[in-house]
Structure 1
């Protein structure tokens, strides 16, 4: 799974990118073999003017042989926005990829090889 982090005007630096990449790996590790790429977009909705919920994180996950799954979360701080978006992405991927596994995590009969 490749992780790509995009920030507004290149803000944040290498440390932020590393922390975001690690958060994505931790939150979506169980989907790693089913995802080709995860893109994270961080923006300041009010462009420095301030506000209660002005940090936005958009996560777009690209599953193999599936349509991309995109979620957005707004919060007061960047870490809160990242955590919220990754939680939403995990739930959305559960729903999108549910047909591949049964409720106990075993392979679906749809994917079983026929004799």
Structure 2
């Protein structure tokens, strides 16, 4: 499973940030490793330098082999919360996709 972490110009990307979120994705989506070819995580700050409630965005796009990509988005007051919420959503979608694939085989 290939994992790519992206940030917009308002969130500083660092090796530590990339390693942390990459490891979290690996650990949480390990069960679906045979289905997933690539995961892209996109972080953004919708209000730039201004303060805003729930202005941090996390979009997770998962490429599933032989299927359309799956994308989920969440907004929160920190990128960590937005990431965790998005990861929960994507796991639900992947569970559903996995069940449907098993029913067809």
Q: Same fold (TM over 0.5)?
A: yes
Distance 1:36 1:53 in 2: 30
Specify the alignment match of 2:13 in structure 1. Answer: 12
List gaps (5 residues or longer) in structure 1.
102-107
Contact 1:61 1:68 in 2 (8 A): yes
Structure 1 runs of 4+ off > 4 angstroms? Answer: none
Residue 61 of structure 1 corresponds to which residue in structure 2?
Answer: 62
Which of the pair has more CA radius of gyration? 1
Q: Is the 8 A contact 2:55 2:76 kept in 1?
A: yes
1:30 aligned onto 2:46: no
Structure 2: segments with no counterpart, 5+ residues: none
Deviations 1:21-61 (A, max 9, x none): 01111111111111000000000011121111011000000
SS state of the match for residue 52, structure 1? coil
Q: Is the Cα contact below 8 Å between 2:44 and 2:56 reproduced in 1?
A: yes
Contact persistence 1:44–1:54 (CA under 8 A): yes
Aligned length: 104
CA RMSD of aligned residues (A): 1.3
Question: Is residue 43–residue 56 contact of structure 2 (8 Å, CA) maintained in 1?
Answer: yes
TM-score by length of 1: 0.85
Contact 2:6 2:13 in 1 (8 A): no
Task: Tell me if 1:42 matches 2:43.
Answer: yes
